[in-house]
Amino acid sequence: MTVRHRIVTISLAVAALFVIAGCSGTPLSTREKGTLGGAGIGAAILGMRPVLEMQFGDFISCAFDQIVNTAATLRYRHGGMASCPLVLRAPSGAGVHGALFHSQNPEAWFTRVPGLKVVAPATPADAKGLLKSAIRDNNPVIVLEGEMLYNLKGEVPEGEHIVPIGRADVKREGTDVTLICHSKTVSVALKAADQLAEQKVSAEVVDLRSLRPIDETAILTSVAKTNRAVVVEDGWPHAGIGAQVVDIIQRDAFDHLDAPVQRVTQADVPMPYNKHLERAAKASPEKVAAAARRVLYLE
C-alpha cells in the first residue's frame, strides 16, 4: 500500500470503528476545508471534542481564518469562560512526490499564534500518546503527521498511554553534539548519528515532539552537556521552527556554546515533483552529519 493510500485509509478505519459516535465525511474540495474548520469549532463550543482531518497539510490554509482568528482566540475573547477543545490532524511535508500542493509543511504558520498548540510525533508510540493528550486538551491542538511516517512500525504501549504536550524526548544519548529535530527529521538525525559514530563522534538526538509549547529545558540541558548544536527541520529556513530553537539557545545557553549553531532545513524553494530534485531539497543524514562536523571543526 502506498503512503498516499495510507493517508486516506487511516481516516476510513477510524470512521469504521466510531461511525456510531459521529464520524462523518466531507467533500474533498479545498474550499470546503474552511467550512470543515468552522463546523469543528461550532461542535467544540457546544461541548463536543471534534477531531478534524485534512487529507493533506497544504489544504489547511483554506481553514486558516477559522483556526487563527476564531479557534485560537476563543478562550481569550470570552475571558476564559469558553473553550475550544478542537483537534486538527494533517499529514505534512514532502516525500510522496506531491510537488507544490501536497508537500508543504505548515508548522511555522501556526506555532507563532497564541492560543494554538502544535505537536509533531515521530514514532507510533508518540503518535498515540500525543493524539490522546490533544483530544483531552481544552485548547485547539494541531497534530502534524509526517506523510512518510505512516509506513513506520514500532512498539506502542497498550491501554492508557499519554505523552504530555510540551515535553521533548531524548531519542539517543550523546556527549559531543546535540541534534535537535522533530517528526520526520528524527529518523534523519538518528541516521546521521550513526554516521557520526563511525567517526567516533557521540551525537545526542533530541526529539521536540511538541512545537508549541516547546520544551526549552530539554534543549538547554542537552546543549549545556554537548556545547554544540545542529537544528534539523522539514520546513523552509526563513522564520522556521529551527529559528525559534536557535533563539532559545543563543539567549539562554550562549555561554555553553563552543561553536555557532547550524541549521539543516528544506531548500528555500517550492517542493519539486521530480524525485531526484525532491530528494535534493530535503534534509538528509549526510547534510546533518556534515553540519555536525562543522560545529566540531572537523571540516
pLDDT band per the 50, 70, 90 thresholds, residue 3: very low
How far is Cα 29 from Cα 104, in angstroms, rounded to an integer? 18
**Residue 8 pLDDT > 60:** no
- pLDDT by residue (tens digit) across 57-74? 677 888 889 999 999 999
The residue whose grid cell reads 521533548 is 168
45 vs 8, 23, 85, 140, CA distance in Å? 28, 18, 8, 11
Active site residue 102: yes
Radius of gyration of the chain (CA): 19
* Grid cell listed for 181: 529535530
pLDDT band per the 50, 70, 90 thresholds, residue 14: low
Residue in 35, 31, 143, 22 with CA at minimum distance from that of residue 88:
143
pTM value?
0.88
Residue in 258, 250, 290, 247 with CA at minimum distance from that of residue 175:
258
* DSSP one-letter code for 67: I
Is the N-terminal amide bond of 272 cis, ω within 30° of 0?
Answer: no
Say which of 102, 182, 238, 256 is annotated catalytic: 102
How far is Cα 8 from Cα 205, in angstroms, rounded to an integer? 31
- pLDDT by residue (tens digit) across 254-276? 999 999 999 999 989 887 778 88
* Grid cell listed for 120: 509533531
